[in-house]
Amino acid sequence: FADASTGSHSPALVRQGQIGQLIASKPVNRRRILEEAAGITGLHTRRHEAELRLKAAETNLTRLDDVVVQIETQLAGLKRQARQATRYRNLSGHIRRAEATVLHMKWANATETLGEEEKRLTETDARVAELTQLAAAASTAQAQASEKLPELRDAEAHAAAGLHRLTVARENLDAEEAR
């Protein structure tokens, strides 16, 4: 009778001897037969299946809650990582700008130092050229003096000899006069 759309409002055929069997059967069997006749046997099966589906849904919801908790934990970690990544990006940008500023300042200082050193080099080159000219003039003067030196030495020797003669003559005169 199960799921045969039989019940209290539907026509049913009863075989001969079936009513006697119903009265003589055990209460469990009688109940089964009466439930079949009333059309509620399928309902018990469907109810049982619905209860199983409901328990499965509850199990799924419990698992889903666990998954949601895990995902929320992961989400919190990912949010923290995202904040750290943003902070890292910001700090990296600041560091890059600071490094660029430092490099620009070093470049500006190097350029300024280069200008000063080039100016000093120009001044030094001018001073070297001036001293080179003075050295050349001194060398020329020395060469000219070296050419005149033998004549001057001869003149000195003659003058020294003359001085010596005059000194000797004076001493002789002084000696004669003292006599």
What's the confidence (pLDDT) of residue 99? Answer: 97
The answer to whether position 67 is within a domain reads yes
What's the confidence (pLDDT) of residue 13? Answer: 60
Copy the structure tokens of residue 149.
């030196």
The answer to whether position 3 is within a domain reads no
The answer to whether position 156 is within a domain reads yes
The answer to whether position 96 is within a domain reads yes
The answer to whether position 19 is within a domain reads no
Q: Which residues of 28-56 are buried (b: 16+ CB within 10 A; e: fewer)?
A: eeeeebebbbebebbeeeeeeeeeeeeee
Structural domain count, the chain: 1
CB-CB contact of 25 with 33 (8 Å): yes
> Which single residue is written with the structure tokens 């003067």?
141
The answer to whether position 61 is within a domain reads yes
CA–CA dist 7, 19 (Å, integer) = 16
CA–CA dist 153, 159 (Å, integer) = 10
pTM: 0.41
CA–CA dist 88, 160 (Å, integer) = 97
The answer to whether position 138 is within a domain reads no
The answer to whether position 53 is within a domain reads yes
The tens place of each residue's pLDDT in the chain, 179 residues long, gives: 444 455 555 555 666 777 777 778 888 888 777 777 666 766 777 888 999 999 999 999 999 999 999 999 999 999 999 999 999 999 999 999 999 999 999 999 999 999 999 999 999 999 999 999 999 999 999 999 889 988 889 999 999 999 999 999 999 998 888 87
> Which single residue is written with the structure tokens 């003559």?
169
Nearest CA among 2, 1, 3 for reference residue 18: 1
